[in-house]
Homo-oligomer: A and B are copies of this chain.
Amino acid sequence: MIEETKEKDEVQFDEQHLRQLLENHETDNFREEFLALHPYDQAQFYEKVEPDIRQIIYQYLSPKEMADIFEAIELDDDEYKGILEEMDTTYAAQMLAAMYTDDAVDVLNELDKDQISHFLKIMDKDSAQEIKELLYYEEYTAGSIMTTEYVAIPENSTVRSAMTILRNAAPDAETIYYLFVVDDSNHLTGVVSLRDLIIAEEDTLIRQIMNDRVVSVSVTDDQEAVAQIMKDYNFLAVPVINSKNEMLGIITVDDIIDVIDEEASDDYSKLAGVSDMVTFDKSPFAAAKKRLPWLVVLLFLGMLTANLVDLFTGTLEKVAVLAAFIPLIGGTSGNSGTQALAVAVRGIATGDVEDESKMKLLLREAITGIITGVVCGVIAFGIVFFWKHMWLLGALVGAAICCSIFVATIAGSFIPLLMHRLKIDPAVASGPFITTLNDITSILIYLGIATMFISKLM
């Protein structure tokens, strides 16, 4: 459904006007207009202007106001460093401290170790402590995307006192729409939605209206597992606990959307054989750098194919027409292998693979391979027979296509399953890799059979 994509963003702000206010040093007017914008639009403006204009912005906005922009900003990973170096160090540290902890950690993760510890030293102790705790979690785990700004209430509070806690927490908490109920030792015991809270009587005890079957995730869970749970349950936020059931933080739906997006791009990139993400690079050198690793690896693998065909030079010299069908057979087997691979990789990604036995899956793919192989083989036989009027050549091409689709389909599903079992990311066995592998086997099958019947073909 890509054909109709978003039109150019409706402009929500007047870039030229804002620029003028900055250049004319009209502080108050700039602040009034700029701060009325949604942080995303503020970030859009900030990303567009030149470094000298940004310097004026730093003078006019407080670190807290700058923090709102930084939470909405979308920079490439390697651009954060330069931007932070533009700012006064103390200003930058105050800004980081004012950001939601998870977002601050995302920014800090792009810096050198020295820079991180320098920033942590000069910011206030509480923020530094919170950031340090999150920095410690491994990438792609629940811990690495959670935030610590949530609203916790004691079990024995009333609805009235919970509302008071909520009002105080509202300016800082990342979401106030779920309240997490904890006991004296910070164990998670329940959850109350703000929806339930506002329709409850003021004197009701939280314990009476809370839901005590809380769905939570462990801090070491993979972010993709968290995404699955939030998708299934339609949560806006999910609590993160440690092995002792102590509440550590929450993960909000906006971060999960980013995870879903990232994971999908990641699978897509690997199927396309691009190292790193498929993105729009600003320079052709950056683009070439991402694409060359795969191309070169596949070039070497392709040399194996060449070597293999070379072994059959004797056969090809005798019946040169055989060469005509090499690309066809390799291509068809590559295509069916990629199809099987895509199904297996997505099945592993969505967890569908877990729901049934691997053997059953492979058996099903084998039957699929036989069906598609026979259909394509018969069609190929027909075309070659009518074109060349050589039934043996037709039978040979048809049989080779049938066999190689069968082998390619099994390989396309077996290899990712094997890699999954071995705890290797199955998407690494990307499209081009499987295709090259299937090239080799299909040519072996084709020229092998041809050599056996060479006397009849001449």
Contacts and interface: CB of A to CB of B under 8 A. Distances in A.
A258 B257 CA distance: 10
Given A295-B332, A298-B335, A354-B7, A327 B306 contact: yes
Contacts of A364: 281, 283-284, 287
A167 B82 CA distance: 49
Interface stretch (A116-124, A125-133, A314-322): A314-322
A346 to B, nearest CB: 5
Contacts of A383: 299-300, 303
A195 B170 contact: yes
A229 to B, nearest CB: 8
Contacts of A350: 5
Copies of this chain held together in the complex: 2
Interface stretch (A34-42, A54-62, A242-250): A34-42
A231 interface: yes
A201 B339 CA distance: 60
Interface string A341-352: 111011111111
A236 interface: yes
A313 B317 contact: no
A368 interface: yes
Contacts of A281: 364
26 contacts: A2-B420, A2-B425, A3-B425, A4-B423, A5-B350, A5-B353, A36-B213, A268-B271, A272-B338, A278-B346, A280-B343, A281-B364, A283-B364, A287-B368, A291-B368, A295-B339, A295-B376, A299-B379, A303-B387, A309-B325, A313-B321, A320-B320, A326-B326, A327-B330, A331-B439, A431-B431
Interface of A: 1-8, 12, 36-38, 40, 72, 140, 163, 166-167, 170-171, 176-177, 194-195, 198-199, 213, 215, 222-225, 228-234, 236, 253-254, 256-258, 260-269, 271-274, 278-281, 283-285, 287-288, 291-292, 294-296, 298-300, 302-303, 305-307, 309-310, 313, 316-317, 320-321, 323-328, 330-332, 334-336, 338-339, 341-343, 345-355, 364-365, 367-368, 371-372, 375-376, 379-380, 383, 387, 401, 405, 420, 423-427, 431-432, 435-436, 439, 443
